[in-house]
Structures are given as structure tokens and as C-alpha cells.
Chain A
Amino acid sequence: SAVISQKPSRDICQRGTSLTIQCQVDSQVTMMFWYRQQPGQSLTLIATANQGSEATYESGFVIDKFPISRPNLTFSTLTVSNMSPEDSSIYLCSVVKSGELFFGEGSRLTVL
């Protein structure tokens, strides 16, 4: 299994600011995935992060808005830049381990 810790678990932010979410895994993994869950909606993949290379973004998501770092095989960060109320969501980190996907508990962001 994989244990994933995310920080912060929740935060309230002001419009125009940026927030960085951290994801720590208890074991080394090749790929880490960042998802967004907007209120009342399903999960949408933002990007895939591979250690040592730039993240791969899904359609509708860009690096300037959601820069991602992946400095090693157990850690990643997602920054939500220049936030607006539309960015209010739960952001989840996910990894694959032994053929199963594991999720962190999510970071719930509210943008005022």
C-alpha cells in the first residue's frame, strides 16, 4: 500500500494570491497525479508528475496556473496561482503502487 500525506488539509485564501500544496508519499513512486474536485463535481486530472521532468498537463490546465514540482520520488507540490473563487476545490494527490491507485485525503481550498 501507499500512505499519502497532503498539506494543508484546508485553507481559505484571498483572490489573487497563490497557494502551494504538498504531497508526501511513504515510498518511492514513479508517477504522481494531481486531481481537482470542484464542488458537487467529479474528479478531474490536472497533470501527471514524473521525477526529473516537467509535468504533463491535461487539456484545460496550464503550467502557469498550476506549476508542479517533483524533486524526488516521494514528494511533489502543486501551486494554484493567482487564485479566483472558481479555484475553490479539493485538490488530491494520487500515486500508483502495486497496480492500485492511492489518494491523499485532499486539500480543500476556499478562495474568497
Chain B
Amino acid sequence: AQSVTQLGSHVSVSEGALVLLRCNYSSSVPPYLFWYVQYPNQGLQLLLKYTTGATLVKGINGFEAEFKKSETSFHLTKPSAHMSDAAEYFCAVTHDLGGGATNKLIFGTGTLLAVQP
């Protein structure tokens, strides 16, 4: 069975500071890993994903994440926070992207990022 753990339900950073949102996964097969962002009253937007290949993945809005198999982690980072980054961030895992019934994502409980001026 797969699972995702996001450490820290609330994270607060100052504008310009490093953003680090933690995600650890559990999977018995090679995982596909995702980070989604949800702005208030909006749907989910894909930030970035890891499927295969390079373990450092760059996404939109300056975010990146590194897949570390030995640590079963996929932490999300951004060097310098902006006020517009304030949102809820979800880490998710699946093991199949082929369009079949196993495509269901397992989501973490989310991390609410606050950016202080």
C-alpha cells in the first residue's frame, strides 16, 4: 500500500526566505510523485512531478523538488518566498500513469504555507 506523510500542517516564512515543505512517501513499487498547490477557493494546480529520470525536478513558479529514494522523500523547495506563494500544498503518490484504474492518487494531508511581509 502507498501512503504520503507531510510534516507540518502549517509553515510560515518571511518574504524572501527559503521555503521547505516536507513530504515522505511509502511505496512498495517505484513511485510517481507530485506536488499540487491549491489557492483559496480554487482547484488543484500541478506544481511539478517526478516520474523517471532526473531526481531534481523543476516546476512552475520557481519551485523544485528532489526525489531521494534512500530517504523516501520528495521535499518541495523554493529559494525565495513571495507573498503570492501563500496557499496549501499537497504531496501525492501513485504507481501508474497509464490511464487505468490504478491511476488514483494518494494525497498527503497538506501543508498551509503562510508568507509574512
Contact = CB atoms under 8 A, between A and B. Distances in A.
Majority secondary structure of chain B interface residues (helix, strand, loop or mixed): loop
Give the interface size class of chain B: 20 to 34
The binding surface of chain A is classed by DSSP as strand
B100 interface: yes
A87 to B, nearest CB: 19
Interface of B: 34, 36, 41-44, 46, 49, 51, 90, 94, 97-101, 103-105, 107-110
Given A42-B110, A103-B44, 4 more contacts: A31-B103, A41-B110, A99-B97, A100-B97
Most central of A96, A101, A103 by chain B CB within 10 Å? A101
B23 to A, nearest CB: 12
A41 B111 CA distance: 10
A29 B43 CA distance: 20
Interface in A70-112: 92, 94, 96, 99-106, 108
